[in-house]
Chains A and B, each alone.
Chain A
Amino acid sequence: MNYFLRNLLGALALLSFSAWSSDLQCVVGPRIEKTWNLYWENGAEFTCSHPSLLWNHLGLGGSVTSTRVGSAFESNAVQQEQYFLSASWIFRLQKRVEPYVALNAGWFWLDVEDPIFNFLPHSAPLFALGGGTAVQVYGPVWCRFGIAYHLITGDGNSGIGSLYPLLLHTSVLWKFGA
């Protein structure tokens, strides 16, 4: 009985998710990021929305960027990564230009590379306010231009010194789903 019930619930959950996900809308693609007066950090981002999440206005997503594929690629720049989870409010849905505002939280990693610098902070939380706009280029291809302001920065003692406040980013995104 338990076995039957478990399978039934599993099948129902799968069907529900299948029905729910058929309305899911996502964008994903590479992201280019420039910290104002410091490094280029590149990577990827995604955002998903759904009618059940405030009628598609709420976008949930994330991004991973690193100087390893930016300023530190075959150079002497410091190697560091930013991991962001973001919640955004998307305006003007179904239009060619969709502005948004976002709250971003995440984690920052610094690779000090040599034991001499083990005294430096290696990681730090991220919290940033952001905004920008997505523009439909052609069919499912979109471009997103954004700006973010880190509310937490570092001074090399209480936080990472190469965590600067202002971030500009752009991404080329492929939209799929409903």
Chain B
Amino acid sequence: MKILNVLLFVGAILLLSTCSKPQIEEGVSLESTSINDPSLTDPADYLISVHDSSLHDGTLLDSLLKMPTVVAFHGFSASTFEWLEFHNYCDSVGNARVSLPLLGGHGRDYADFKKATWRDWQAGPLAEYKALADNGYTNLDITCSSTGCPLVVDALATGWFKKRTAPRRIIMIDPIILSSAKDLSLIDLVGPVIGNVQTDCTEIEKQHWYCNRPQEALNQLMTLLDRVVSQLQDGVTAPAGTQIVVYKSKRDGSADPESALLLYKGLYLANHAKIDVRIVDSDKHVFIRGAGRASWSTADSILQFKTFAEMDSMFTH
């Protein structure tokens, strides 16, 4: 009788698992096998290290080495698209250049996303930063959004920047340290039953985000957040000369606004001064991205460009 109960229980779990299979629209969504992030096919258009390595004019390269150069870390399940508007803004202003690396395991199909670890995610943009630092770029900066930010905090906590040119500024947009969805904290217990979590995406978002989130990837996200909570608890100090600014939406359905409090308490400048936290009146997660959203107001646009201008000013001074 006991064996029968166990079999029924296992059967019920398997049934629940099969109920949550991802629905992938082939040829439409990023997670299908036929669509990749464009940075994979045209890396020179997205990665400054690749773009500049093709230039052989030493004079030009020397001027580029001194120009403010920003490495943008996008968020979980996103792609280079998340920072594209800021990239285009900086291109039009001409003060700073923005490199758009992909987080490892992102921008490809669902299977690649499913098997990648948070260390794989981190390796993508850090490889771009390292390539730029190794090539002698002296005015390096970092900007990050959402999950890109705990990846940067982990790199700071583990001393990754000690071996190379430290970023002059790190600007965080809606960093996630605590998820707004508290059920995520249970993913390591109930993940195999859930299997896959489907989120609402617009037609444009389907082309640039994973709208299906496998429990394996969510588990990696929770592992990263738990690790960074501990690191902030112990205290994380930025390298000498690095300034840190955090922008946080007051109302955010993905990154709990209390995340900014954890960063404010646990992340210090090299001289033990507090970081600069700026709370903004927005209900958008990663409020600097407007393209492809289901709703976007004039006030959202004003805030987006005001923030772009502030960031550009910080990177160029």
Contact = CB atoms under 8 A, between A and B. Distances in A.
The answer to whether A and B belong to the same complex is yes
Interface of A: 36-39, 71, 75-78, 110, 112-114, 116-117, 119-120, 153-157, 160-166
A162 B178 contact: yes
* Interface of chain B, main secondary structure: helix
B228 to A, nearest CB: 12
A155 B157 CA distance: 26
A15 B307 CA distance: 72
Contact of B256 (A36, A116, A156): A156
A119 B258 contact: no
Nearest to B258: A161
A32 B294 CA distance: 45
B233 A71 contact: yes
B183 to A, nearest CB: 7
B185 A78 contact: no
Contacts of A120: 257-258, 261
Interface string B259-297: 111101110000000000101000000000000000000
Given A116-B279, A120-B257, A156-B258, A76 B235 contact: yes
Nearest to A116: B277
A75 B230 CA distance: 10
B186 A157 contact: no
A37 B185 contact: yes
Interface residues of B, number: 33
B261 A112 contact: yes
B188 interface: yes
B185 A75 contact: no
Contact of B185 (A77, A155, A157, A164): A164
Contacts of A154: 182, 256
A117 B235 contact: no
Given A119-B279, A166-B186, 13 more contacts: A37-B222, A71-B233, A75-B233, A77-B232, A78-B262, A78-B265, A117-B260, A155-B253, A156-B256, A156-B257, A157-B257, A161-B257, A162-B178
B261 A78 contact: yes
Contacts of B264: 114, 116-117
Contacts of A157: 180, 250-252, 257
B200 interface: no
Contact of B250 (A71, A76, A119, A161): A119
A164 B179 CA distance: 10
A153 B180 CA distance: 10
Contacts of B261: 78, 112-114, 117, 120
7 contacts: A37-B185, A76-B232, A77-B232, A110-B258, A114-B261, A153-B182, A155-B256
